[in-house]
Amino acid sequence: MTSTRTRRIRKAVFPVAGLGTRFLPATKTVPKEMLPIIDKPLIQYAVDEAIEAGCDTLVFITNRYKHAVADYFDKAYELEQKLEAAGKHEQLELVRHVLPPGVKTIFVTQTEALGLGHAVLCAKEVIGDEPFAVLLPDDLIWNRGPGALKQMADAAEENSCSAIAVQDVPHEMTGSYGIVATQDFANRRGRITRIVEKPKPEDAPSDLAVVGRYVLSPRIFELLETTTPGAGGEIQLTDAIQRLLEDEVVDAYRFRGTRFDCGTHIGLIEATIRYALDHEKLSDAAADMMRNALVELGVVEIS
């Protein structure tokens, strides 16, 4: 058994070429990744997490309708001039610092939405022969300490292996996730022995579900090139990872933090509530507003 993962990740891939059908009609014009939690779009949270983990090259896999993502990370000359002229220095700093200095963005087009595995394969030339991260921005991970990717990247570097973020899910929910079987699980990680995409509860090898953070060996590209469409007729990253297990070590990593599935309505609402209640300026007002709404709507009674 060999492993090619010995170096620290520097490049992060953000697959953002999906259709976002669960948020139609909003996603008719606004990409799902640009939906905000308070005042930052989902993509900004994922980018911040990648930069914190040490990435300086951000690779976005987009499609021809997602100009908003590229525009967001581009310089906004006119807006900056107007903010400067109006003396709005705080806002000017926010607009200028969506990316810190020295961080590079690269946009690659996925011409057809053939699946997450195919989207990752589109990054092959840009990544080359080094380990890299994949972050799905609609999985938002909230943590007061280090971000999930930093935790994983540290663990993967220490173990010279690939790593996939996992969380425990209710057994009846396995059909909504990639599910892993592991061995020797201790100190938040275990070696993956099997990974299955969306198994029925009776077929699921465990309740450990894959969450949208990966540290991957570049060997995954060769495997993706020969991966045929799987679940849902899509080229699945999970299927290529199952083949990666045959000749490299891939760890499951149970991160510290709370994950919100912002690809669903309830997940986006939950994340908004959590970030509002944790917000230094908004938390009191948000808590009052929620309490009042619950009482007014008769959801809870106060005696």
Share in percent of the chain as helix, strand, coil (round to 5): 40, 25, 35
Among 69, 98, 116, 250, indicate the residue that binds ligand UTP (CB under 6 A): 116
State in angstroms the smallest separation of the CB of 103 from ligand UTP.
20
Considering only residues 24 to 63 of the shown chain, the ones binding ligand UTP according to CB under 6 A are: 32, 61
Q: Per rule CB under 6 A, is residue 124 in the interface with ligand UTP?
A: no
Would you say 20 or 131 has its CB closer to ligand UTP?
20
Q: x/- binding map, residues 76-115, to ligand UTP, per CB under 6 A? A: ----------------------------------x--xxx
Q: Which amino acid is at 293?
A: A
Q: Which of 225, 153, 160, 227 is nearest to 197 (CA)?
A: 227
Among 178, 263, 268, 286, indicate the residue that binds ligand UTP (CB under 6 A): 263
Say if CB 255 and CB 152 are below 8 A apart.
yes
- Tokens 């308070």 sit at which residue? 38
Structure tokens given for 253: 């990593």
Burial class (CB in 10 A: 0-12, 13-18, 19+), 255: buried
Among 35, 37, 42, 138, indicate the residue that binds ligand UTP (CB under 6 A): 138
Say if CB 143 and CB 258 are below 8 A apart.
yes
State in angstroms the smallest separation of the CB of 63 from ligand UTP.
8
Among 9, 11, 18, 214, indicate the residue that binds ligand UTP (CB under 6 A): 18
- Tokens 């994950």 sit at which residue? 259
Q: Which residues here bind ligand UTP, judged by CB under 6 A?
A: 15-22, 32, 61, 110, 113-116, 118-119, 136, 138, 263
